[in-house]
Every structure is written in C-alpha cells, then in structure tokens.
Structure 1
Amino acid sequence: MAGHRGRRPGQRLFVALDPPVAVREALLAWTRQQRGQAPAMRAVPAEQLHVTLAFLGARTATEIDPIADAVAEAVATVSDGRPLPRLRLGGPLWLPPRRPRVLAAEVHDDGAGELLALQAAVAAGLRDAIGWEEERRFLPHLTLARMRSDAAPDRRSLPATPAAEFEPEAVVVYRSHLEPTGARYEAIERLALR
C-alpha cells in the first residue's frame, strides 16, 4: 500500500464511516429546519456527514501509509465473517453538553456491538502503528451543524431526527483541508467492509 497517498507535512487525518446519500440528505434537510434553535449555526454539507471512528489530528507524511495499513488490517480482522454494523440514527444532541458548539445526531449500533468492535480494532491498530491514543470516550454521532463560539443555542427540545437505519459499506481514511469557507474532506483510503 505504501507510496500512493500523497505527501504533505502536518496533514489533519481522521477515520470514519459514511452514511448513504439518502440518509445524508434527510439529515441536512432536518438540520436546516432547526435554524430557529440556533440562528448562528452552519449546517455541515451532506457530502461531509460521517461517523468518526478516530480523529488523528495533524500527522506527518511518514505516518500516512502506516495509518492506512493499520486501518486496513483492522477492517479485515473485524469484517472476516462477521455481520456489518447495522446503525440507527438516534436523537439530536448538543456537544459538548456544557457549552455546545455542535448539533449532532446520535448513532446506535443495532447489532451485537459490531460498531464498537470496529472502532476498538481501528483504535488498537492505530495505537500499535503510530502510538495514537484516543483522548475521549467513543461517542458515535454525526455532526450536523457547527456554531460560532459566541453563539448560544436554544437548548429546548428538538424534534426527532429522521428515522433511518444503514449498514456502512466502507471505512474511510480522510484528510481534512481547512479553508476559509470551512473544512473540506478528501478520502485518501477507502476500505470496503465486505
């Protein structure tokens, strides 16, 4: 696998699952309807909605291939004869709870813990490959919108997010490009779960 992913210092990387297009579009429409709860919120574009398995932050060019290889090995181990994670959208939540800056949708694993097993395998592989350690407890969610740091959302109850279930088809290693208009994500490795 080495050698084909590009070489730029200080690349911001993360590992994620992508929901299907129909789920993304339904979530974007729902998010836009919630503008009254937080007028200063900016919806995440539908094509950027994902469930983060591991946020790696800035990484050197020499770490990219070991990261992709570790994720590939984790995916191969977890998907070998096991069912795919069956994910279901849960309710809306504000993150972090004390001073929210993000509107998100919870994601639940409707199977026998396949999502947690996948995330744990990815985390273990990254720990072995590059010494990465997760700083926070894994909380499966889709970030739907972000708010300015000085904005305070109306935290009264939000309506339920769209009902949806899906099986992710791949684990993706993304590179995040920070631009004046917001982040743009580039898939640098896509690993099929089947």
Structure 2
Amino acid sequence: MLRTFIAVDFPTEIITKIASITAYLQSQTPGKALKWVASENMHLTLKFLGDIHESTIPKLVRCIQEALRGQSTFNITIEGLGMYPNASQPRVVWLGIKDKGNLKQIHHELVKVLRDFDPDPEKRAFSPHLTIARIRQNVSRDVVQQVGETLSQFKVDSLGSFEIQTVQLFKSELTPQGPIYACLFSMPLNQV
C-alpha cells in the first residue's frame, strides 16, 4: 500500500520566503508547542487519497490526466496567515493561497474522477492553504491559546505570485523524523 496525495509544489524562491517567515514565527511562539513543516515538505494538497494499492497507480494516473485535461497554467499568490479551526483554539497554522478559482475547479474535477479511489470524499469545502505548523499533541489548553493570541498579532503580506505549471502525485512515507515525500507522477498543465 502507498499513502498518496495529489499536490502542487512551490518554486525554490517562494519556499525560501516561506522558510524565512516560519523561522520568525517560530521564534515568537512558545517552545515546543508547534511542529513546523520542513521546507522540503511544503506543498499545496489538492486531494489526499490515503492508502492505495501500488497496482492501481496506472489507473490513478489516467484519472488525474482526465481531470486535468484542458486545464491551463495559472498564477497563485501566497498571502495571509490563519489558523484552523480558529485563533482561540488553533490546531493548524497556515498561509493563505489566492487564485481566481482554478484550484477549486481542479479539486472539483479530481473529486469527480477519483470516486473509485475515494468513495467517501471529505464533506468540508476545499480551502486552498499551505500548512506551516501543527499544534503538538498533549499541549495544554493555555499554551494553545497563547499560540493563537501570539500568531493573531502577525499579518503576512504577499510572499509573491508564481505560475502553476504542473500537478503531481506524491507518495508519503511516515517516519519518526517526519514524512518523506516522493513524486510518483507529474502532469504538466496545458495538455489537451
């Protein structure tokens, strides 16, 4: 079984800016309350698939190609800082992703063609974002609130825009040191 997801990678110059912001935010938050996402693991998840059989990868690739057929390249902007579910009890810290609806359209198309791989798709509306940190388990409620209060004071202006040219299928291997991602397939956009 392979743990898989479909995502968009970020260019090196954007990752460098994000790493700079996260290093600063990390210096402002309590000790070990947050687990920060490593720079090399930063991506925008379009669709998490979970565990699939390796033998189904060719069919999965065909489905992704079908979903992306005719999709043009487009620009996104990294802008804004937020927390899920909210700033008073944050569990996830994220940077916002702004585009003209292309990401939601791609997500919709992926959900449509991937029903065989995900018969019970997530009910929440797709909200494009870049997770930069998660609250660690067993962190006290007071510390969680302190993290939310601290991070609420920061505003993240645009870290830049870039063109999305490809969508990738990744496998994820969970290790004690953190996840290791490997690209299984890359689909260029603007393919008819």
- The aligned residue for residue 104 of structure 2 is 116
Is the Cα contact below 8 Å between 1:177 and 1:185 reproduced in 2? yes
Aligned residue type for 1:21: T
Q: Percent identity?
A: 27
Over residues 28-83 of structure 1, what are the superposed CA-to-partner deviations in whole Å (9 max), with x where a residue is unaligned? Answer: 1100101222432232122211111101112222332222211112112323xxxx
Q: In the aligned structure 1, how far is the partner of 2:22 from the partner of 2:157?
A: 9
Q: In the aligned structure 1, how far is the partner of 2:54 from the partner of 2:75?
A: 34
- The aligned residue for residue 6 of structure 2 is 15
Q: Is 1:37 the counterpart of 2:26 in the alignment? A: no
Is the Cα contact below 8 Å between 1:90 and 1:108 reproduced in 2? yes
Where do residues 8-157 of structure 1 align in structure 2 (5 Å cutoff)? 9=1, 11-35=2-26, 36-40=28-32, 41-79=34-72, 84-97=73-86, 99-109=89-99, 111=100, 113-127=101-115, 131=119, 133-151=121-139, 152=144, 153-155=147-149, 156-157=152-153
Equivalent residue of 1:150, what SS?
A: coil
Q: In the aligned structure 1, how far is the partner of 2:17 from the partner of 2:83?
A: 19
- The aligned residue for residue 6 of structure 1 is none
Equivalent residue of 2:71, what SS?
A: helix
Q: In the aligned structure 2, how far is the partner of 1:127 from the partner of 1:140?
A: 21
Q: Which runs of 5+ in 2 are unaligned?
A: none
Q: How far 1:146 moved relative to its partner?
A: 2.4
Distance 1:161 1:28, change over 3 A: farther
TM normalised by structure 1 equals: 0.83
Is the Cα contact below 8 Å between 2:37 and 2:131 reproduced in 1? yes
Distance 1:149 1:99, change over 3 A: farther
Q: Which runs of 5+ in 1 are unaligned?
A: 1-8
Distance 1:38 1:135, change over 3 A: farther
Q: Is 1:170 the counterpart of 2:166 in the alignment? A: yes
Q: In the aligned structure 2, how far is the partner of 1:27 from the partner of 1:46?
A: 8
Q: In the aligned structure 2, how far is the partner of 1:108 from the partner of 1:95?
A: 17
Q: In the aligned structure 1, how far is the partner of 2:103 from the partner of 2:25?
A: 28
Is the Cα contact below 8 Å between 2:74 and 2:165 reproduced in 1? no
Q: CA RMSD in A?
A: 2.0
Aligned residue type for 1:187: C
Aligned residue type for 1:85: F
Q: How far 1:17 moved relative to its partner?
A: 0.8
Within the candidate set 169, 179, 190, 2:186 is matched to: 190
Is the Cα contact below 8 Å between 2:46 and 2:103 reproduced in 1? no
TM normalised by structure 2 equals: 0.83
Is the Cα contact below 8 Å between 1:126 and 1:132 reproduced in 2? no
